[in-house]
Structure 1
């Protein structure tokens, strides 16, 4: 069934697209509607370079989940369709489905109830993001309309403070490094790729708190997905309670935040500031960046920030709360605001939960 033609092609696979919702989407998209995944697969097999859609929205039902993800895998592996924007729609919240969607690099996943106007705004952003900023590596070299330049006073304070702390703590850091070596096999410093201010990519340093091969075990633990990343740089929105991959020493390093001290080297290098929005893993920045998130990249990235002191270590931190705090800081940061956050950081260092 075809609706109004607006130039941007959207394929909807499912039976729940109401006339009202179709009308909202039809204001900007040419919609081609299919009943089920088998018809979607047949449709995709008939595409040519000139008939390939821009967006595919798929309803995911429990009985069709395997078929849907099989189709998604084919879409991703086909050069003709690998760049399509894919949005999944589900009847009810499902943590496992969300984790699977993240792993499959789906652009977004919506659970009922949702507002079609909000979904349309999200699609508009994804399309612009795709056209203007195809991937995070390219984003880092594109000249921004508004680039963040760290204020001189903030940079001087960062260098002096970070350098001073590293000098004072150097004997302790050497002991920690030795204990990590004795506790388990693997490197002392764990490096992962992160995205900071202006989509700049850099190596993010931490004391290693997990056993060797921890990344390979992540798949089996993904059902415990929470709101943030696990420091591995391989996933998005992933943080696991009582993570069995964490070593005994690692539990202490994390609960005391000693594992984050090497990030002072990132501060000295200019990758980030002492105070700012936490840099994100590559996948989270690329696949889950939205118009709500974009503001956070226009301010400084930092070792500690507003959301850390507000909800640090609590499992009830929602994505929406974190977005609001990050965006608020990006719009309102100042030297005095930074000092206030730093003073409040120390009581927040010791977490009550193993998250």
Structure 2
């Protein structure tokens, strides 16, 4: 048993010394803690498997709490008598709020009467679930206790979710800075180094077939943002006008009768020029997209930006997730399925959604290291 001086305020009469009832430190018994002296009906607040531990002073209560925590035991609830010791109460509440094992403990204040100033002071402290008086019945206390437990569990869950969200946002910001910095540096250097090659390819395209050097089309990228998409032209000049005529050759197994998603890819596309086939199979036709990367429309790694007619068919909740990722030159689909004839729409979209969920700078680096072996296609697609 431990003895301590009772709580008192200056000018108040001291009460006789009160015994601090405490279980052995190695006990794992459930217990409720009472801090102070007068607690009418306190024994009626306990369940059959709970012991009552009474501390005459807040410093003693702190000591008991820490001793019991060493045995992984915390009180089921705490009631603190407000008769004296108000100045020490904030320190106790701070201890309970700052320690993860104590935050879920319901905390009540006992007072026979409180004036307006005291009520305002308590309301500003925080961490107090309710006020108990001599008139509070065991049934009323049980209701207050159940509500306090539910509220604290919900509060702890909310705080945990907020911390996780903050960590996620911080990670996303770091990933964005690293990703964007790498995109600008890499695309700028590659464009500068390959500028002579661009001139040779441009001349070859003009000699090979009539039409512009670059193929420019509207594409939908991150969050359906529409931008001008650049590639070296690999098809005949009127290629877009022949899409409907060749729809029966689409390599994707798509039945769009119910308005489902639409992808259009042809194996050995007859619209591709001789030089265009080489540019495609070697992925050289993709190089002008480095300008899109430099401009911020795309990233080196991401989900392929889609023609607007394809993006328009992917606006439902099941498909829209793939647009949460940035548009990219290479990505998960390219290193896993590029050049394969047999591929369903769902398989393609699932790969895009998988990347969108896992996207990070380190994941991008992994995809980039696996991109070279996917550059040389086995089929003209």
**TM-score bucket (shorter structure):** 0.5 to 0.7
Q: CA deviation at 1:227?
A: 2.9
The answer to whether the 8 Å contact 2:215/2:233 transfers is yes
Residue 292 (str. 1) matches residue 315 (str. 2): no
TM-score scaled by length of structure 1? 0.55
The answer to whether the 8 Å contact 1:292/1:323 transfers is no
Matches within 5 A, 1:55-94: none
Q: CA deviation at 1:354?
A: 1.5
Alignment match of 1:249 (pick from 250, 272, 275): 275
Secondary structure at the aligned position of 1:292 is classed as helix
Alignment match of 1:327 (pick from 350, 353, 359): 353
Q: How far, CA to CA, are the matches of 1:158 and 1:262 in structure 2?
A: 14
Matched residue, 2:136: none
Secondary structure at the aligned position of 2:371 is classed as helix
Secondary structure at the aligned position of 1:203 is classed as strand
310-319 or 210-219: bigger deviation? 210-219
Matches within 5 A, 1:338-353: 338-353=364-379
Q: CA deviation at 1:209?
A: 0.4
Q: CA deviation at 1:216?
A: 2.2
The answer to whether the 8 Å contact 1:208/1:259 transfers is yes
Q: CA deviation at 1:236?
A: 4.3
1:256-302 deviations in Å (ceiling 9; x for gaps): 00001000000000001100111111111112332221111112221
Secondary structure at the aligned position of 1:187 is classed as coil
Secondary structure at the aligned position of 1:314 is classed as coil
Alignment match of 1:222 (pick from 237, 243, 247): 247
Which runs of no fewer than 5 residues in structure 1 stay unpaired?
1-145, 229-234
The answer to whether the 8 Å contact 1:236/1:281 transfers is no
Secondary structure at the aligned position of 1:206 is classed as strand
1:41-79 deviations in Å (ceiling 9; x for gaps): xxxxxxxxxxxxxxxxxxxxxxxxxxxxxxxxxxxxxxx
TM-score scaled by length of structure 2? 0.51
For the pair shown, the structure with the greater C-alpha radius of gyration is: 2
Q: How far, CA to CA, are the matches of 2:242 and 2:358 in structure 1?
A: 40
The answer to whether the 8 Å contact 1:211/1:247 transfers is yes
Q: How far, CA to CA, are the matches of 2:287 and 2:242 in structure 1?
A: 26
Aligned residues: 203
Alignment match of 2:234 (pick from 209, 212, 221): 209
187-196 or 297-306: bigger deviation? 297-306
Q: How far, CA to CA, are the matches of 1:257 and 1:197 in structure 2?
A: 22
**CA-atom RMSD, angstroms?**
1.9
